[in-house]
Amino acid sequence: MMSRYDEIEQLARKIEQHAFRRGFVSAFTLTAFPVKSGKDMELHITRECDGLVYGNAEVGTLDAFRDFISALDGRVDFIVCDLALPFETDTFLGEGTDAPENSVLLQYSDIAVWIDSVRYILYSRIPNLPEKSLVITGDEDPEDTFLKRLTTDPGGIASSVFVHLSGAAKQEIPEAYRSADVIIGAAIYRQVIRRECLERCERSPLIVDAGIGTVTPEASEFAMERGFQLIRVDNRAAMAGMLFSLIQSHDLVTRVMGQGEIAGVPVVAGGYIGAPGTIVVDSIDQPSIAIGFADGTGRIRYNAETDDEKKRIELVRKAIGGE
């Protein structure tokens, strides 16, 4: 019988080989279980997107996390762990005692990826979104972070956002359902969109299952009979987008950003704020262009104002160009 470590290592090898064959960057995300679970890990399918091969697993224990780090180290370029993992990961980060030796370990927020997924779906599917009305349905749990985040983030993109705590005790169905253009289920793995809520609708709303399993069977049947659209959030696009941004940001701060000297002239790059008159180049690691002069506040001045500035930028350009 294959051990947990063997199963992880086998997947790591497949991702490594897949990325090598395609010439792609590879990454693996380690995510907290969205609700309490007795499992220590659960593997998911590997995906490919625009130069990136990435895998994902949900992790519930420190031992399982340690096994993943050990098996993935050196086989994937980036290991990306969720900020919400239910154990401390400090020793695995940076120069920590458990940090991977050959892969880069970075952090991200999985719940933020889910919120982005919902928002991007709304942008893509709903014309004139700022003119529409949203009902976001959750339950009475005041610690429901997903509901809190979701009700905060879409607040500026629709004409009205009504929050219905559907899981509370018997209550009258809010009038907001009558004019709803979009109904979002915002509880994780909990059925909060009920038939009696949809019966109140006078329009044909888009129903978005953002928490996976938020629509009751009766509500789903009723929605289909009435011709309402039902979609479940798929986070693959937002996940790929997060990985691209995170990897590019890591490249920015480790290879592009910084300060140094070229031909004895002080230079800065990648958003590093230099003293007024410092030469700005495109990359501190591999400079190819002298862009202009820092103004000391983060902005760039493109034209030399003194003979000394002209001399210094020409020295840098000559050194970069190899003349």
**pLDDT reported for residue 322:** 55
What pLDDT was estimated at residue 154?
Answer: 55
| Average pLDDT of span 78-87 | 95
pLDDT value, residue 84: 92
Q: For 207-232, what is each residue's pLDDT tens digit?
A: 999 989 999 999 999 999 999 999 99
Contact 257, 284 (CB under 8 A): yes
**How far apart (Å, rounded) are the C-alpha atoms in residues 248 and 219?**
43
Task: Give every CB contact of residue 213 below 8 A, 6+ residues apart in sequence.
Answer: 189, 190, 191
What per-residue confidence (pLDDT) applies to 281?
96
Residue 205, C-beta contacts closer than 8 angstroms, at least 6 positions apart: 135, 180, 181, 182, 183, 228
Round to whole Å and give the CA distance between 135 and 274: 48
Rounded mean pLDDT, 85-95: 94
Output the pLDDT for position 153.
Answer: 60
pLDDT category at 51 given cuts 50, 70, 90 is: very high
Contact 283, 258 (CB under 8 A): no
Which one-letter amino acid corresponds to residue 265? V
Tokens 């930028």 locate to: 313
Q: Which domains does the chain have, with CATH numbers?
A: 4-108 (no CATH), 112-236 (3.40.50.720), 257-321 (no CATH)
Closest of 102, 48, 42, 35 to residue 71, by C-alpha: 102
pLDDT, position 172: 79
Are 226 and 250 a contacting pair, CB within 8 Å? no
How is residue 190 written in tokens?
Answer: 């909990």
Read off the pLDDT band of 25 (50, 70, 90).
very high
Whether the Cβ atoms of residue 76 and residue 16 lie closer than 8 Å to each other: yes
CA quadruple 268, 269, 272, 276: dihedral sign: positive
Lowest mean pLDDT among 20-29, 43-52, 146-155, 280-289: 146-155
Contacts of 149 (CB under 8 A, 6+ apart): 111, 112, 115
Confidence of residue 129 (pLDDT cuts 50, 70, 90): confident
What integer best gives the mean pLDDT of the chain? 90
How many whole angstroms separate alpha carbon 39 and alpha carbon 20? Answer: 32
pLDDT of 259 higher than 70:
yes
Single-letter code of the amino acid located at 239? M
Rg of the chain, C-alpha, whole Å: 25
pLDDT tens track for 145-190: 777 777 776 555 666 788 888 765 556 789 999 999 999 998 888 8
Contacts of 6 (CB under 8 A, 6+ apart): none
